[in-house]
Amino acid sequence: MNAKEKPRIVKRHPELASLLFQQCRSRFEGSHLPSHDHFHHLRVWNYTMDLISELPEQAEEFNENEILLLMLSVFFHDTGLTVTLDEEHGTESRRICQEFLDANPKLFTIDAGPALRAIELHDKKQSMLSHSDSEMEILKILSVCDDLDAYGPTGILRYAEIYLLRGVAINNLPEKVLKNMAYRFDFFSAQNWIPENFYLKHRGRYRYAAEYYKELQDDMISGEKQGINQVIIESYMDEVYHGKKPFLEFAVALFNNNNEKIRNFGSELLRELNQNGDCQTLWSGINA
């Protein structure tokens, strides 16, 4: 991709995005998993549109069929977590998406194969070397944009929730997270087609999350009991996961905390949750 060529404008299909968001939301109604629920999928869709909008033109336009395939893959990629928390949940996600397509044959008249494969393989970076270019483009973009939600303050809390639910002890959390986060970021950094400004923005979010877990790791090594970073994670699990407090409400509570470090984290979390206008517009419209 030639970074000197001008960016192209991508249509966002708001009505279809809203329909798929509703479908994703319905899948999570019986499963309380704030870290990977319908709002995670919505954030990934917005990261996807942000990335595509910044990509330079190629010999062939990023066509409408590819946009539809990306949309389908984004809104179903983690729905399998409603069935299993296992790292192999992509297989269940693919099955759920196929059931949706079978029940709505007139909604997607294109070959959904690349989207289904992307859904199944989105966490398997190594698999991207064994697929055709057309399939790999959908898979790579889904994988990259899904990973972007693992950075920043949102990613910090998402990592904590899913790993704790998978049985990782909190003392082992930093090592597990830092290893996986570095794996994701190495993959992101290897994509030399990503525009520099986009890369630098999310590199900063990666560093923010990595520094948080490094501090948590240092606290645990030094024997620090109930350091602020651990307090935030435990408060999230108590209030959002177990107490079912809305994510946004939790962020506001942190922002109003008396402790400066907790307030700063709350401020960053609020900024990240509110920075995408399209996400908030769709969110507000659905919850009106």
Q: Residue 43 domain-assigned?
A: yes
Q: Are residues 47 and 145 in contact, defined by beta-carbon separation less than 8 angstroms? A: yes
Indicate whether 139 and 155 sit together in one domain. Answer: no
pLDDT of residue 14: 80
Please state, in angstroms and rounded to a whole number, the distance separating the CA atoms of residues 210 and 227. 16
Same domain, 27 and 96: yes
Same domain, 183 and 110: no
Pair (56, 139) in one structural domain: yes
CATH number of the CATH domain containing 14 = 1.10.3210
The reply to whether 32 and 105 lie within a common domain is: yes
Owning domain of residue 128: 1-146
Q: Contact at 8 Å (CB) between 31 and 81?
A: yes
**pLDDT tens-place string over residues 85-122:** 988 899 999 999 999 999 999 988 889 999 999 999 98
Is 286 contained in some domain? no
pLDDT in tens, 247-273: 889 999 999 999 999 999 999 999 998
Alpha-helix runs per DSSP H in the chain = 14-27, 38-54, 64-76, 90-103, 113-121, 133-148, 152-165, 173-189, 196-222, 228-236, 247-255, 260-274, 277-286
Is residue 284 domain-resident? no
Is 157 in the same domain as 142? Answer: no
Asked whether residue 285 is domain-assigned, the answer is: no
Q: Are residues 134 and 46 in the same domain?
A: yes
Identify the domain boundary among 94, 113, 146: 146
Query: pLDDT tens digits, residue range 139-151?
Result: 999 999 999 999 9
pLDDT value for 61: 53
Final residue belonging to a domain, choices 111, 146, 181? 146
pLDDT score for 24: 96
Task: Calculate the CA 115 to chain-centre distance.
Answer: 17
**Which position has the token pair 């507000």?**
284
Give 1's Cβ-side CA count (13 Å radius).
Answer: 20
Helix (H, G, I), strand (E, B) or coil at 203: helix
Name residues whose C-beta falls within 8 Å of residue 38's C-beta, 6 or more positions apart in sequence. 21, 24, 25, 27, 28
Tell me which residue has tokens 């994988």. 143
Q: Is residue 263 part of a domain?
A: yes
Q: Rounded to 5 degrees, what are φ and ψ at 68?
A: -65, -40
Which amino acid, 127?
Answer: S
Please check whether residues 141 and 9 belong to one and the same domain: yes
Q: Report the domain count for the chain.
A: 2
pLDDT score for 186: 94
At 6 the pLDDT is 39
Q: What are the two backbone dihedrals, phi and then psi, of residue 162, each rounded to the nearest 5 degrees? A: -65, -35
Of the residues 99, 122, 146, the one at which a domain ends: 146
Of 127-136, 190-199, 208-217, minimum mean pLDDT range = 127-136
